[in-house]
């Protein structure tokens, strides 16, 4: 069995303890390794073999995930028939379900079960003054260098050396490149009409702060949450859906008493880490990264990223920031509106803000990485997406054992029609049952139901579990209850 963790990688290779077989093994598992001659490899220690094997394995893994996503309808390159468009991805029939499940789980756990948190849905385009007050027109920039020969553009902070990494050409001096997409409101493309697609959703929350406070009259601490599209004209892309130019953000602005901000920051760090553990991401693939003081964003007193071990290395999954009273104060100053909060004693103050913020696509990629498994048996390889059932796009697949037996099809259809009112259910009557199971395993469907001839007699069906592959007979009238418990 191969899965994505380093421990399993090490087990996998160390099980074949005889080191002289290592090269053969590698060629079998990672054909691209053929480029290393046996004579060179035989001198390598186990550690370097494992490291290289791991890198090769991870490169292989991302390719497999990309291919699975395309083949099974999770993710398509946007505008593909016209050659695509860098940094934009479309989510297919399964991808949209996956993203919706991530978003609704976040909404349920971050908003609905919390008495002190409410939601908001603000516009994507705001009055451009919002971005002046927030500091984005001035500071939402990346350092850019362009190659004078091939005109490729690079982030200066990611370049090693003074030459173009693509063609070796000379590079321009560093200039600051603003990542906000510009657009124009109305028919005249004049500076006065210039607006921006939002690069983060939270500013919609800050500019609605007084509206929400007036309507719900909360006590501190309280939160306002929002899910919505964000746009960033990123200079460097790559790594599939990890860094996009259009993506979906889930942000909570949690308003607290100044002086209590550090306590609440620690609270949200723990909460958010546990959120990922509850989703089934293993602890060893998650870690905190504390931003050094001198590298903090212009609004932040402290920022900690939750990083995930993606196939291309550790990278930011979610950011948790202490934004202090920066945003409310600046919007108050800029708009002339009093955005202070009046507490129980009648005292007016600017609350501090703790902000957990994450992109839906990054969570999707982490879950696909975490869940991807290949299990080799004698005949073939079973690909399994071991997604948490809460997040799996399809919950149950229903099969009639034989598609040409009307009695089986009729009974299976009755079950399908009944269950589809409660869960996202798939129907499949193509090929043999083994193939149908494998096809559902690959997209992460936790349960499959087969209606066979016995069903017509005993009113029971076979329910097969994706992870254990165990099968059990369940009475048709108990199916809903069974799945409700298993999928809770
Ligand atoms: N309001 C705070 C904020 O925007 P950020 O660290 O720039 O902070 C928050 O972004 C989260 O949004 C990141 O942790 C990441 O999950 C996601 N994100 C940021 N840029 C992204 C991009 N270009 N593509 C996909 N997700 C992105």
Residue among 244, 254, 359 whose CB has most ligand 1 atoms within 8 A, to mutate: 359
Pairing assessment for the beta strands 313-324 and 352-359 based on DSSP bridges: antiparallel
Q: Helix, strand, coil: what percent of the chain each, to 5?
A: 40, 25, 35
Q: Whose CA is nearest to atom 5 of ligand 1?
A: 319
Q: Whose CA is nearest to atom 21 of ligand 1?
A: 243
Helix boundaries (H) for 72-190: 93-107, 129-133, 136-139
Q: What is the pLDDT along the chain (488 residues), one digit of tens a residue?
A: 333 344 444 444 444 443 444 444 444 444 443 334 444 444 555 555 555 666 666 778 899 999 999 999 999 999 999 999 999 999 999 999 999 999 999 999 999 999 999 999 999 999 999 999 999 999 899 999 999 999 989 999 888 889 999 899 999 999 999 999 999 998 887 888 999 999 999 999 999 999 999 999 999 999 999 999 999 999 988 899 999 999 999 999 999 999 999 999 999 999 999 999 999 999 999 999 999 999 998 889 999 999 999 999 999 999 999 999 999 999 999 999 999 999 999 999 999 999 999 999 999 999 999 999 999 877 788 999 999 999 999 999 999 999 999 999 999 999 999 999 999 999 999 989 999 999 999 999 999 999 999 999 999 999 999 999 999 999 999 999 999 999 98
Residue whose token pair is 């893994």: 61
Q: Among the atoms of ligand 1, which is closest to the Cα of residue 200?
A: 4
E strand spans, 62-163: 75-77, 89-91, 117-120, 141-146, 153-155
Which of 101, 90, 33 is closest to 391 using CA atoms? 101
Q: How far apart are CA 98 and CA 424, in angstroms?
A: 11
Q: Does any ligand 1 atom lie closer than 6 A to the CB of residue 327?
A: no
Q: Does any ligand 1 atom lie closer than 6 A to the CB of residue 306?
A: no
Whole-prediction pTM: 0.89
Q: Among the atoms of ligand 1, which is closest to the Cα of residue 357?
A: 9
The answer to whether the beta carbons of residues 200 and 172 sit under 8 Å apart is: no
Q: How far apart are CA 211 and CA 452, in angstroms?
A: 59
| Secondary structure, 3-state, 429-471 | CCCCHHHHHHHHHHHCCCEEEEECHHHHHHCEEEEEECCCCCE
Contacts 24+ apart (CB under 8 A), 34-38: none
């Amino acid at each position: 069995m191969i899965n994505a963790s380093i421990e399993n990688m090490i087990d996998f290779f160390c099980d074949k303890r005889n080191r002289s077989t290592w090269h053969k093994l590698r060629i079998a598992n990672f054909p691209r390794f053929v480029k290393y001659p046996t004579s060179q490899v035989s001198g390598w220690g186990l550690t370097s073999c494992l490291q290289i094997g791991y890198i090769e394995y991870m490169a292989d893994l991302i390719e497999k995930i990309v291919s699975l996503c395309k083949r099974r309808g999770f993710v398509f390159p946007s505008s593909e028939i016209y050659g695509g468009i860098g940094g934009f991805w479309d989510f297919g029939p399964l991808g949209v379900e996956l993203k919706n499940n991530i978003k609704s789980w976040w909404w349920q756990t971050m908003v609905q079960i919390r008495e002190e948190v409410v939601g908001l849905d603000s516009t994507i385009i705001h009055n451009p003054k919002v971005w002046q007050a927030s500091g984005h027109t001035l500071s939402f920039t990346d350092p850019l260098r362009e190659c004078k020969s091939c005109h490729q553009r690079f982030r200066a902070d990611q370049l090693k050396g003074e030459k173009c990494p693509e063609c070796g050409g000379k590079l321009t001096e560093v200039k600051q490149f603003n990542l906000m997409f510009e657009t124009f409101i109305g028919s005249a493309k004049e500076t006065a009409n210039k607006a921006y697609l939002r690069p983060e959703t939270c500013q919609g929350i800050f500019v609605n702060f007084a509206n929400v406070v007036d309507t719900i009259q909360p006590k501190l601490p309280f939160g306002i949450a929002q899910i919505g599209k964000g746009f960033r004209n990123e200079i460097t892309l790559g790594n599939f859906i990890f860094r996009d130019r259009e993506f979906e953000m889930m942000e909570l602005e949690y308003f607290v008493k100044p002086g209590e901000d550090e306590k609440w920051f620690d609270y949200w760090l723990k909460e958010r880490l546990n959120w990922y553990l509850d989703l089934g991401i293993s602890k060893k693939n998650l870690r905190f990264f504390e931003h050094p003081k001198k590298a903090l964003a212009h609004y932040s007193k402290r920022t900690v990223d939750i990083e995930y071990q993606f196939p291309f290395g550790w990278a930011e999954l979610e950011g948790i920031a202490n934004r202090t009273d920066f945003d409310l104060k600046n919007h108050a100053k800029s708009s002339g509106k009093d955005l202070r909060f009046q507490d129980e004693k009648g005292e007016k103050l600017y609350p501090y803000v703790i902000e957990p913020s994450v992109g839906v696509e990054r969570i999707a990629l982490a879950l696909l990485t975490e869940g991807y498994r290949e299990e080799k048996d004698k005949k073939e390889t079973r690909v399994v997406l071991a997604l948490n059932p809460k997040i799996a796009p399809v919950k149950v697949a229903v099969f009639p054992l034989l598609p040409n037996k009307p009695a089986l099809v009729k009974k299976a259809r009755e079950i399908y029609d009944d269950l589809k009112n409660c869960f996202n259910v798939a129907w499949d009557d193509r090929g043999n049952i083994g193939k149908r199971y494998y096809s559902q395993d690959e997209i992460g469907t936790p349960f499959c139901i087969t209606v066979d001839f016995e069903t017509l007699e005993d009113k029971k069906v076979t329910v097969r579990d994706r992870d254990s592959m165990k099968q059990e007979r369940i009475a048709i009238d108990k199916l809903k209850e069974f799945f409700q418990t298993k999928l809770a």
